[in-house]
Amino acid sequence: MEIPQTPRNIGRRRFFKILSGIFTFIGSLILAIPFVGFFIGPISRISKTHFSRVANLKNVPQGTPTNVRYPDVEQDAYIEERMTRDVWVIKHSADDVTVFSPICPHLGCSYNWNKQKGEFICPCHGSVFAKDGKVLAGPAPRPLDTLPKKIQGNELLVEWEQFEVGIPQKIKV
């Protein structure tokens, strides 16, 4: 037995069609959000630069390489990681500073400043660097890597970057 087509039945059917269409549209939007984020996420992360406060330049001695430790925050999507980094800072004047990465460009070891010799020395494979970062001896394929920096007032801000080791070119990882 068939239900006769009355205006009330047609309105009810139409209402359920519209309602199911709305639910389908909302469900599709919810499912599309992760896919859109997958493609847009890497693009938004590439362009962001992050400078961290490293030191007050009044506290850094002039002309002497100084290893400075500072807190940094690395953020990847929703994950925030707090860490302590260190850099080598050489203050030439109140507004002229060189900042070296603490990672040896040969194999990624940490190097140290030798006050007696006036050189940076990597204990892993014997690479030796001048105060300006140039290679003096050893297997290091390039000079010490400098990091981007800004000076705001007396504050030194540094952008942490890491580079491929063991190659003559300075390529950001």
Higher pLDDT among residues 19 and 6, named by residue: 19
Q: Do residue 98 and residue 125 come from a single domain?
A: yes
Q: What is the per-residue pLDDT for 3?
A: 61
Each residue of 39-93: pLDDT tens digit?
A: 776 665 555 678 999 999 999 999 999 999 999 988 776 788 899 999 999 999 9
Q: What is the per-residue pLDDT for 40?
A: 74
**Residue 7 confidence (pLDDT) above 70:** no
Number of domains forming the structure of the chain: 2
Q: In this structure, is residue 56 part of a structural domain?
A: yes
Q: What is the per-residue pLDDT for 43?
A: 63
Q: Do residue 115 and residue 57 come from a single domain?
A: yes
Q: Do residue 148 and residue 133 come from a single domain?
A: yes
Q: What is the per-residue pLDDT for 49?
A: 74
Q: Do residue 40 and residue 60 come from a single domain?
A: no
Q: Do residue 107 and residue 135 come from a single domain?
A: yes
Q: In this structure, is residue 167 part of a structural domain?
A: no
CA–CA distances in Å: residue 102 to residues 16, 128, 146, 153: 66, 13, 9, 25
Cα 39 versus chain centre, distance: 19
Q: Do residue 87 and residue 146 come from a single domain?
A: yes
Strands 96-100 and 66-76: unpaired
Q: Do residue 28 and residue 64 come from a single domain?
A: no
Q: In this structure, is residue 168 part of a structural domain?
A: no
Q: Do residue 70 and residue 104 come from a single domain?
A: yes
Domain span at residue 87 reads 51-159
Each residue of 95-147: pLDDT tens digit?
A: 899 999 999 999 999 999 999 999 999 998 899 999 999 999 989 999 999 99
Task: For residues 3-15, give the mean pLDDT.
Answer: 69
Q: What is the per-residue pLDDT for 139?
A: 94
Q: In this structure, is residue 20 part of a structural domain?
A: yes
Q: In this structure, is residue 28 part of a structural domain?
A: yes
Q: What is the per-residue pLDDT for 33?
A: 84
Q: Do residue 105 and residue 148 come from a single domain?
A: yes
Q: Which two tokens stand for residue 3?
A: 């239900």
Instruction: Map tokens 């007396």 to a residue.
Output: 154
Enter the DSSP assignment of 77: T
Q: Do residue 154 and residue 82 come from a single domain?
A: yes
- Calculate the dihedral angle through the C-alpha atoms of 57, 61, 66, 72, rounding to the nearest 10 degrees: -20
Q: Do residue 118 and residue 130 come from a single domain?
A: yes
Q: In this structure, is residue 17 part of a structural domain?
A: yes
CATH classification of the domain holding 65: 2.102.10.10
**Residue 36 confidence (pLDDT) above 90:** no
